[in-house]
């Protein structure tokens, strides 16, 4: 797993974003169902709900997810990289560039979160290459705040365009 070379991620409004660097508007419009399942996504962007409403997170990038007991929430989603770079950001991080090189292609993106203390989280992001685009997301570990529906909502509108 590669450590984040930049400062900690500041997340807010219970979310952080992972998106292809070519995506101009990475924010997703959240509905009640998105909140229940813990994420809102489009083809090359996903907004994950955080365990805390506001705080900081140490982010690490890896290749293959392996279950770990300390994870409180683990969500896997289809993800397409087109630009060769992905960005990770909090919704209020204006001007912060947290860019990671990532070969173009289809991935299973796994976001694994755990609490560190009352203001901090640890977020591990795993980009597992897949030969064909995945069709469905999955909640691998659900904490007590999620109310995972039987069918996950696999799409979202762009934030502000509802």
- Taking only the tens place, the pLDDT of each residue in 98-140 is 999 999 999 999 999 999 998 899 999 999 999 999 999 999 9
CATH 2.40.50.140 for domain 2-141:
no
Backbone angles phi, psi at 36, to 5 degrees: -60, -35
For residue 64, what are its two tokens?
Answer: 């293959």
Residue spans per domain, the chain: 2-141
How confident is residue 161, by pLDDT bands cut at 50, 70 and 90? low
Closest CA to 104 of 123, 119, 83, 124: 83
Q: Is the pLDDT of residue 4 over 70?
A: no
Q: What pTM was estimated for this model as a whole?
A: 0.93
Q: Which residues contact 143 (CB under 8 A, 6 or more apart)?
A: 51, 72, 73
Cα 86 to Cα 17, 112, 142, 144: the distances in Å are 10, 17, 25, 30
Q: Is the pLDDT of residue 3 over 50?
A: no
pLDDT of the residue at 95: 78
pLDDT of the residue at 35: 96
pLDDT tens digits, one per residue of 50-63: 999 999 999 999 99
For residues 48 and 15, the answer to whether their CB atoms sit within 8 Å is yes
């Amino acid at each position: 797993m590669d450590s984040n070379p930049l400062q900690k991620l500041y997340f807010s409004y219970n979310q952080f974003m992972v998106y292809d660097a070519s995506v101009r508007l990475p924010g997703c419009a959240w509905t009640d169902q998105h909140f229940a399942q813990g994420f809102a996504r489009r083809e090359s962007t996903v907004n994950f709900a955080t365990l805390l409403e506001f705080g900081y997170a140490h982010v690490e990038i890896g290749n293959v997810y392996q279950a770990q007991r300390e994870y409180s929430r683990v969500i896997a989603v289809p993800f397409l990289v087109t630009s060769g770079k992905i960005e990770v950001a909090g919704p209020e991080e204006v001007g912060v560039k947290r860019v990671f090189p990532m070969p173009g292609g289809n991935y299973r993106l796994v976001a694994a979160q755990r609490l560190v203390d009352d203001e901090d989280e640890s977020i591990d992001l795993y980009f597992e290459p897949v030969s064909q685009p995945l069709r469905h997301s999955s909640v691998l570990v659900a904490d007590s705040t999620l109310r995972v529906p039987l069918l996950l909502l696999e799409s979202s509108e762009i934030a502000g365009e509802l």
